Chain A
């Protein structure tokens, strides 16, 4: 933590960045995003197990962009997000400082996206055992059971779009659900509207989702969106041998055309 605070202060003092996007204390034992703009406030930064929000969400938020060049305190999923956002031309090398604090108080400052790639190639991304258990349980269901399971989950959706707003890869200023000429997705939070919304959200993130889990954590009614994301991550991996967030250059499976693409699925 000391390393982080020292670094943040130095970056702000030297004018190298205008804002450090990091974590501070929140309500009760929650941690929350803070935006440190004055060097003397660098001591408000914390880093521990409560710091889970993927702060890369703020790299594309206009209100935060207006503050000037940022440094971001990055967890593992945030590092992946940085690469994915770079691959999608949303951020550029040199446009930000990436700081990754370790649990032991160490701090890595990444100078280039290539350094992040190297680091991630050797890093393990453990999956929460409870989430894995739910994944296994749902996978073991018959298609009919699984369909019912999802209808049950999705019927609880209130269409608050917290999942979308929390997602660093959902940066479109105008989401498909807001396009109404024609209306692609029904706006009301009824059965069809909820279903189409949730399927669309998952599909628009297929191959782009870095599995940070923020959508699931943001959902006020606790819909396990991570299940949808992970199935798609698995499918993209087995079919296209790609995983989002591992490279700063993206050859996006679902929107890139190659002349030698197989077309035998078109019948």
Chain B
């Protein structure tokens, strides 16, 4: 579908949220929580903070919750009965004000969850999610969307992309049929866009330091360079902060809880940074050192995912670097990788 351009007056955003709520959909938006901004449900636009640079956590919880029940089981007589969760009960949700990196990340997550097995849970959530993106007027030293094929105004992954123009009003680019359906909830708010609406000058300037293809090739070429990976990862603590705040990290762990007569099966986030991530029952761990785990993180995003799923696993949001307790800066490490002599 061809992108349609409309104008959404700054005052109209409040009305849009009301209309969405009135239609029985939940709205999630960036909300200021003390020193952090996080995605949270809102009832009115006044609760949202649309001037944020980046939330601490991504919104992936909406599609891939950190704990999700995927099965219940109960013993009845001699047999075990299982029941699937009722996915039709999931609410229609709109996420409003998500930056372009996060919107694009939905495609990367989706590529994993629909690679071979079609993940019913992810797909059901995705079907009910509409993304109203918000272009970035400002970035910080951690952002590198421009180096991974995106940019502060990219429409990829958004159903509607809003860009705040110099006037304070929003240019609304309606990208998908879902976006169109959302407009239908309040068509009177979406005015014709002025011909000269200048999107580009409203966008942050994010420098392009490399291309993701180069980064992937380089990582692959240096796979055996233990000194490089070990050196980069020496200060890494092996926690899950980077993976858990990342909008594209999809690793999970399955846990059964309950007794032998009744219980639930839960899907929980996991992280390749953890020392026990790939440990075998024999005790052998193919990624014994943090350097090998760090390499896995970069390789998965820049080499394995492009090879297998034809998408990249990093959208340059910079969250992992901001959240890392020891300042492991992924952008800097990727640049090092490109510059390192072979």
Measured in the bound complex, the distance between the Cα atoms of B57 and A13 in whole Å is 45
CA distance A120 to B340 in the complex (A): 44
Most B Cβ at <10 Å: residue of A27, A62, A173? A27
Of A28, A162, A186, A189, which contacts B257 at CB under 8 A? A186
Could you tell me if B36 and A188 are in contact, using CB atoms closer than 8 angstroms? no
Taking the closest CB of chain A, its distance from the CB of B67, in whole angstroms, is 4
Q: Which of B233, B255, B326, B329 contacts A53 (CB 8 A)?
A: B326
CB 8 Å contact bits of B247-283 with A (1 = contact, 0 = none) = 0000001010100000000101101001110000000
A162→B234 contact, CB < 8 A: no
B35 near A: Cβ within 8 Å?
A: yes
Given contacts A160-B239, A173-B275, contact A27 B67 (CB under 8 A): no
B29 within 8 A of A: no
Determine if B339 is an interface residue (Cβ-Cβ < 8 Å): no
Q: A174 to B274: give the CA distance in the assembly, Å.
A: 11
Q: Is B127 an interface residue (CB 8 A)?
A: no
Interface string of A18-46 (1 = CB under 8 A from B): 00000000111011111100000000000
Would you call A217 and B329 a contact (CB within 8 A)? no
Beta-carbon contact of B142 and A27 below 8 Å: yes
Q: Per a CB cutoff under 8 Å, which of B233, B268, B326, B332 touches A188?
A: B268
Contact of A190 among B67, B253, B289 (CB under 8 A): B67
B66 within 8 A of A: yes
| B2 CB, min distance to chain A CBs, angstroms | 40
Contact of A218 with B257 at beta-carbon distance under 8 Å, contacts A32-B235, A63-B230, A158-B66 already known: no
Nearest residue (CB) in B for A26 is: B327
Name B51-100 residues within 8 Å CB distance of A: 56-57, 66-67
Q: Give A125 Cβ to nearest chain B Cβ, in Å.
A: 21
Contact B268 A187 (CB under 8 A): yes
A169-180 contact mask (Cβ, 8 Å, vs B): 1 or 0? 000011000100
Report the nearest B residue to A180, measured CB to CB: B255
State whether B141 touches A27 (Cβ < 8 A). Answer: yes
| Option from B234, B235, B241, B321 in Cβ contact (under 8 Å) with A160 | B241
Cα–Cα distance between A217 and B241 once the two chains are bound (Å)? 12
CB of A166 within 8 A of CB of B36, answer no
Contact residues on A (Cβ < 8 Å of other chain), bracket:
35 or more
Which residues of chain B come closer than 8 Å to A217, judged between CB atoms?
325
| B245 interface residue per 8 A CB criterion | yes
Residues of chain B lying within 8 A (CB to CB) of residue A164 = 239
Return A260 CB to nearest CB of chain B, in Å. 41
Cβ-defined contact, B325 with A63, below 8 A: no
B144 at the A/B interface (Cβ < 8 Å)?
A: no
Residues of A within 8 A of B271 (CB): 160
Q: Answer whether residue A221 sits at the interface, using C-beta atoms and an 8 A cutoff.
A: yes
CB <8 Å contact, A162 and B321: no
Specify which of A28, A165, A166, A173 lies most central, judged by the most chain B CB atoms within 10 Å of its CB. Answer: A165
Are A158 and B57 in contact, CB atoms less than 8 angstroms apart? yes
Q: Is the CB of A26 within 8 A of B329?
A: yes
Give A141-163 as 1s and 0s: 1 = Cβ < 8 Å from B's Cβ atoms.
00000000000000000111110
B37-57: CB near A (< 8 Å → 1, else 0) gives: 000000000000000000011
The size class of the interface chain B forms with chain A is: 35 or more
Q: A228 interface residue, CB < 8 Å from B? A: no
**Distance (Å) between the CB of B54 and the closest chain A CB?**
12
Nearest B residue to A58, CB-CB: B235
Contact yes or no, A162 B67, CB < 8 A: no
A69: min CB distance to chain B, Å:
16
Q: Which residue of A lies closest to B245 (CB)?
A: A220
Contact A63:B290 (CB < 8 A) given known A27-B141, A158-B269 = yes
A residues 167-216 touching B (CB-CB < 8 Å): 173-174, 178, 186-190, 193, 214
Smallest distance from the beta carbon of B281 to chain A beta carbons, Å? Answer: 11
Shortest distance between the CB of B257 and any CB in chain A (Å): 6
User: In this assembly, does A135 line the interface, its C-beta being within 8 Å of a C-beta of chain B?
Assistant: no
Residue B305 at the A interface, CB < 8 A? Answer: no
Which of the residues B56, B141, B253 comes within 8 Å of A187, measured between beta carbons?
Answer: B253
| Residue A222 at the chain B interface, CB threshold 8 Å | yes
Partner of A174, one of B237, B240, B276: B276
Report B-chain residues with C-beta under 8 Å of the C-beta of A28. 141
Given A186-B257, A188-B266, A221-B56, answer yes or no on A32-B327 (Cβ-Cβ < 8 Å): yes
B residues within 8 A CB of A193?
Answer: 67
Taking a contact as CB atoms under 8 Å apart, the answer to whether B235 and A221 are in contact is no
Q: Does B157 contact A (CB under 8 A)?
A: no
**Interface presence of A98 (CB below 8 A):** no
- Which chain A residue lies CB-closest to B61? A158
Interface centre among B239, B253, B257, B325 (most CB of A within 10 A): B325
Q: Tell me which of B36, B253, B269, B321 contacts A221 (CB under 8 A).
A: B36
Starting from the known contacts A27-B327, A218-B237, 9 additional A-B residue pairs (CB-CB under 8 Å) come to: A27-B329, A35-B234, A63-B234, A161-B240, A161-B274, A193-B67, A220-B241, A220-B323, A222-B36
- Enumerate chain B interface residues (CB-CB to A < 8 A): 34-36, 56-57, 66-67, 141-142, 230, 233-235, 237-241, 243-245, 253, 255, 257, 266, 268-269, 271, 274-276, 289-291, 321, 323, 325-327, 329, 332
- Ordered by A's residue number, 28 sampled pairs between the chains whose C-beta atoms are within 8 Å are A26-B327, A27-B142, A30-B327, A32-B235, A32-B326, A61-B290, A62-B289, A158-B269, A160-B239, A160-B243, A160-B244, A161-B274, A162-B237, A162-B323, A162-B325, A165-B237, A166-B326, A188-B257, A189-B66, A189-B268, A193-B67, A218-B239, A218-B325, A220-B56, A220-B57, A220-B323, A221-B56, A222-B35
